[in-house]
């Protein structure tokens, strides 16, 4: 059983980065058998593209809340239409890229509110696999990573979104600038003694929560341990 206290478990979103329905349900059944109850599970592109939307209902029927992490990035009209389709799936959280701009985010927020007001819409700021050097060398962005994330968070707030996906390193600053109700969902979480894999900006669960994370997203550190 992964070593998490009850506060961390209540804020934990487990990333179900599995390639098949069989592996996913094997893991979820194990969670239920061992009374391991995270706040939510996250379905990403791999599982959604391979198994389709039908399996979401089955996961909800097992008692799990869902964060559907499809990181949508397109023009306003296409994004709004995609979000209307997603809203019908009755998920608890879904997301788009803040990089698409305020007009896209506003169209997306309006679309979600129209179909499923309970679904929270959050925006991905800068991926936690990205470092300051990558931002400068790959994207020619010369502001600090922190300033850039903050600008994207403020844009998301102005567009009417409920929060952002960010590194726990930026959660505190985002809370200060965007308000306490603005959700911070933080991936890149690792136990002190585990490997960072492909993540660059990592933090332990306890530190991330102390830094203002409303939710901590953990994939491999949990799925490989349970």
Whether residue 24 contacts residue 47, with contact meaning beta carbons closer than 8 Å, is answered with yes
Interface with ligand C5P, residue 50, by CB under 6 A? no
- Are 95 and 71 within 8 A, CB to CB? yes
Shortest distance (Å) from residue 167 CB to ligand C5P = 7
Q: Which two tokens stand for residue 2?
A: 């992964």
Q: How far is CA 45 from CA 11, 50, 51, 143, in A?
A: 22, 8, 10, 30
Place of tokens 């990089």: 99
Minimum gap (Å) between residue 14 Cβ and ligand C5P: 9
CB of 98 within 8 A of CB of 122?
no
Contact flag: residue 163 with ligand C5P (CB under 6 A) = no
| Count of helices and strands (H, E) across the chain | 11, 8
How far apart CA 155 and CA 98 sit, in angstroms, is 8
Q: Is residue 58 at the binding interface for ligand C5P, with CB under 6 A as the rule?
A: no
Residue (71 or 113) nearer to ligand C5P, CB: 71
Active site residue 29: no
CB of 114 to ligand C5P, least distance (A): 26
Judged by beta carbon, residue 69 or residue 92, the one nearer ligand C5P is 69
Minimum distance, C-beta of residue 107 to ligand C5P, in the bound complex (Å): 21
Q: CA-CA distance, 155 to 77, in Å (whole number)?
A: 19
Binding map of ligand C5P across residues 107-136, x = CB under 6 A, - = no contact: -----------------x--xx--------
**106 phi-psi bin (left φ>0, alpha ψ -120 to 50, beta other):** alpha
| Among 22, 114, 147, 197, contact with ligand C5P (rule: CB under 6 A) | 197
The catalytically annotated residue of 21, 65, 71, 151 is: 71
Minimum CB–partner distance for residue 104 and ligand C5P (Å): 18
User: Which pair of tokens denotes residue 91?
Assistant: 């998920």
Decide if residue 138 touches ligand C5P (CB under 6 A). no
| Span near ligand C5P by CB under 6 A; candidates 59-67, 74-82, 113-121, 212-220 | 212-220
By the rule CB under 6 A, 218 interacts with ligand C5P: yes
Strand partners, 18: none
How many other CB atoms sit within 10 Å of the CB of residue 139? 12
Q: Is 4 in the site for ligand C5P (CB under 6 A)?
A: no
| Enzyme catalytic residues | 71
Q: Give residues in contact with ligand C5P (CB under 6 A).
A: 15, 17, 44, 69, 124, 127-128, 165, 187-188, 197, 199, 217-221
């Amino acid at each position: 059983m992964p070593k998490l206290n009850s506060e961390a478990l209540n804020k934990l979103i487990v990333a179900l980065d599995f390639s098949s329905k069989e592996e996913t349900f094997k893991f979820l059944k194990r969670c239920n058998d061992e009374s391991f109850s995270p706040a939510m599970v996250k379905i990403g592109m791999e599982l959604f593209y391979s198994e389709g939307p039908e399996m979401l209902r089955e996961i909800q029927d097992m008692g799990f809340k869902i964060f559907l992490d499809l990181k949508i990035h397109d023009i306003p009209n296409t994004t709004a239409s995609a979000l209307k389709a997603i809203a019908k799936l009755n998920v608890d959280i879904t997301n788009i890229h803040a990089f698409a701009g305020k007009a896209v985010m506003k169209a997306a927020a309006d679309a979600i509110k129209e179909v499923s007001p309970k679904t929270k819409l959050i925006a991905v700021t800068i991926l936690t696999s990205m470092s300051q050097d990558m931002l400068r060398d790959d994207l020619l962005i010369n502001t600090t990573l922190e300033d850039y994330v903050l600008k994207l968070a403020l844009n998301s707030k102005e567009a009417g979104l409920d929060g952002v996906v960010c590194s726990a390193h930026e959660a505190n600053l985002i809370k200060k600038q965007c308000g306490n109700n603005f959700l911070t969902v933080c991936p890149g979480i690792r136990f002190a003694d585990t490997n960072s894999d492909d993540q660059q900006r990592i933090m332990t669960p306890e530190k991330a929560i102390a830094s203002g994370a409303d939710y901590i997203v953990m994939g491999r550190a949990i799925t490989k341990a349970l």
